[in-house]
Amino acid sequence: SSRLYHKNVVDHYEKPRNVGAFDKKDANVGTGLVGAPACGDVMKLQIRVDDDGNITDSCFKTFGCGSAIASSSVATEWVKGQHVDEATQIKNSEIANHLNLPPVKLHCSMLAEDAIKAAVKDVKEKQAKAKEAAAMAGGGGK
C-alpha cells in the first residue's frame, strides 16, 4: 500500500521535479551518468553552472526504481543555487533520511550522490578545457 512510503517520497514519486535534459556539449553543463550494478538502474543527472561554479539549474533522467527517481528529484532541488564544491558534500544518507528510505533502498540514494559528483567532475573538466582553448586562441575566441 502507499503507506509503505513516507509522504516526502510519495510527493517526489508522483511529482518528480526537474525531469529533463540539457545539451551535454554545452561547456557549462555537467553530466553525471551512473549505474547501480545491484539492480541495473541508471541515473543521469545534469547541472548548469555559471563561470564561478555556481549551479543555476539541474535536471535528471532516471531509468530505475521509484526511490531512485525520488532521490534524483531531491538531488536536483538541493544542488540548485549551490556552489559545485558545496554540492559534492551532499551525502546519500541525507537524501535517504529526507525520503525515509529503508535500508534495502540505500543504494538508490547512493546513485544520486554519485551522479552529483560525476556531474561536477564533468563540468570542471569541460570548463578547464574551454579556458585552455580560449587561451590558445589568444583570447580572441569566445
Between 101 and 119, whose beta carbon lies closer to ligand FES? 101
The residue type found at 131 is K
Q: Is 108 a catalytic residue?
A: yes
Q: CB-side exposure of 22: number of CA atoms within 13 Å?
A: 23
The residue within the footprint of ligand FES, chosen from 27, 33, 36, 106 (CB under 6 A), is 36
- Around Cβ 139, how many Cβ atoms within 10 Å? 7
Distance in Å, CB of 45 to ligand FES, minimum = 13
Three-class HEC string of 64-129: CCHHHHHHHHHHHHHHCCCEHHHHCCCCHHHHHHHHCCCHHHHHHHHHHHHHHHHHHHHHHHHHHH
Confirm or reject binding of residue 32 to ligand FES (CB under 6 A). no
Out of 21, 39, 133, 135, pick the active-site residue: 39
Confirm or reject binding of residue 42 to ligand FES (CB under 6 A). no
Q: Is 59 a catalytic residue?
A: no
Could you give the string, one character per residue 46-75, with x where binding to ligand FES holds by CB under 6 A and - elsewhere?
------------------xx-xx-------
Out of 43, 47, 68, 108, pick the active-site residue: 108
Distance in Å, CB of 111 to ligand FES, minimum = 5
How many residues of this chain interact with ligand FES, rule: CB under 6 A? 11
Q: Scanning the structure block, which residue is given the C-alpha cell 543555487? A: 81
Rounded CA gap, 85 and 65, in Å? 28
Q: The C-alpha cell of 82 is what? A: 549551490
Residues with a catalytic annotation lie at 39, 108
